[in-house]
């Protein structure tokens, strides 16, 4: 499978993807984007990574017991994404919704490759996933990612830190090394897949302005819910 972007979806809706390291602020921006679009009168559907009811429990148990090899990790997340795509991404796009996705196939490209999986094989797993109308990459230094993670008081998990790869016996050191791998992967996707990199180390309001600026061209002539109701 060639290392190149997938085809566009070709449906009436719009697919907007937000990607980035943990602590990049992408989830906050995703929620703010959904609220803004809804306030503008658009029909919006929100979806996020690893949320399929089909396999999310299996993934959670596997992580808790430390049973996931890089290949198993990749296959389970691909199954999760495929189910989520069939149920929660494709149908709204066909129905003319704006779908905002907190992480997409790019997360797999970056994480699985960082764990040693062949990127061409990983891309082949996600060959069914169409290219988004806009993919935003919230770029931050790893030091900012770590700082925000620690400030959130959320525990850094075993897999989040890449401890399964034996990068370091120290959780924080392993986290920094693994996140550096992920950052390099995302930076490559800016060139290969056309992700739009935004400086996410700035205040939320400044980043939000850039997000809206990137999204506005997609909304030109796009019908709002009221127009659809009275059509």
Is a pLDDT exceeding 60 seen at residue 191?
Answer: yes
Burial status of residue 140 (CB atoms within 10 A of its CB: 0-12, 13-18, 19 or more): buried
Question: Which of 199, 212, 206, 196 minimizes the C-alpha distance to 139?
Answer: 199
The percent of residues above 70 in pLDDT, for the chain, comes to 95
Q: 3-state class of 221 per DSSP?
A: coil
Q: What is the mean pLDDT of residues 120-146?
A: 96
pLDDT digits (tens, 9 = 90+) for 197-214: 999 999 999 999 999 999
- The topology under which CATH files domain 14-219 is Rossmann fold (3.40.50)
Q: How far apart are CA 15 and CA 143, in angstroms?
A: 30
Q: How far apart are CA 55 and CA 74, in angstroms?
A: 12
DSSP letter at 87 equals I
**Is the model more confident about 53 or about 46?**
46
Helix H or strand E encompassing 196: strand 196-199
Give the model's confidence band at 226: pLDDT under 50 very low, under 70 low, under 90 confident, else very high.
low
Give the model's confidence band at 3: pLDDT under 50 very low, under 70 low, under 90 confident, else very high.
low
Question: Which of 150, 163, 181 minimizes the C-alpha distance to 63?
Answer: 163
The Cβ of residue 177 has, within 10 Å, a number of other Cβ atoms equal to: 17
Is a pLDDT exceeding 60 seen at residue 118?
Answer: yes
Helix H or strand E encompassing 139: strand 134-139
Q: What is the mean pLDDT of residues 53-74?
A: 79
Q: What is the pLDDT of residue 230?
A: 40
Domain boundaries, given as residue ranges, for the chain: 14-219
Q: pTM higher than 0.85 for the full model? A: yes
Q: What is the mean pLDDT of residues 26-53?
A: 93
The percent of residues above 90 in pLDDT, for the chain, comes to 77
Is a pLDDT exceeding 80 seen at residue 114?
Answer: yes
Question: Which of 7, 9, 5 minimizes the C-alpha distance to 218?
Answer: 9
Is a pLDDT exceeding 80 seen at residue 44?
Answer: yes
Give the model's confidence band at 4: pLDDT under 50 very low, under 70 low, under 90 confident, else very high.
low
């Amino acid at each position: 499978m060639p290392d190149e972007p997938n085809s566009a979806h070709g449906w009436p809706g719009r697919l907007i993807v937000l990607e980035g390291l943990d602590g990049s602020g992408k989830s906050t921006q995703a929620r703010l984007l959904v609220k803004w679009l809804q306030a503008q009168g658009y029909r919006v559907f929100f979806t996020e990574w690893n949320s399929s009811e089909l396999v999310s429990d299996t993934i959670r148990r596997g992580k808790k017991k430390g049973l996931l090899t890089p290949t198993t990790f990749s296959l389970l997340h691909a199954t999760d994404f495929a189910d989520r795509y069939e149920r929660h991404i494709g149908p709204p796009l066909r129905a003319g919704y704006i779908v905002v996705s907190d992480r997409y196939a790019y997360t797999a490209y970056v994480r699985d490759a960082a764990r040693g999986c062949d990127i061409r094989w990983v891309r082949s797993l996600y060959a069914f996933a169409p290219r988004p109308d806009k993919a935003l990459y919230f770029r931050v230094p790893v030091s900012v990612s770590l700082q925000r993670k620690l400030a959130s008081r959320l525990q850094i998990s075993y897999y989040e830190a890449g401890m399964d790869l034996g990068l370091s016996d120290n959780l924080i050191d392993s986290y920094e090394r693994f996140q550096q791998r992920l950052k390099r992967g995302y930076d490559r996707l800016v060139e290969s897949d056309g992700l739009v990199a935004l400086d996410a180390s700035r205040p939320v309001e400044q980043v939000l302005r850039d997000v809206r600026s990137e999204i506005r061209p997609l909304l030109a002539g796009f019908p709002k819910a009221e127009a659809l109701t009275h059509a």
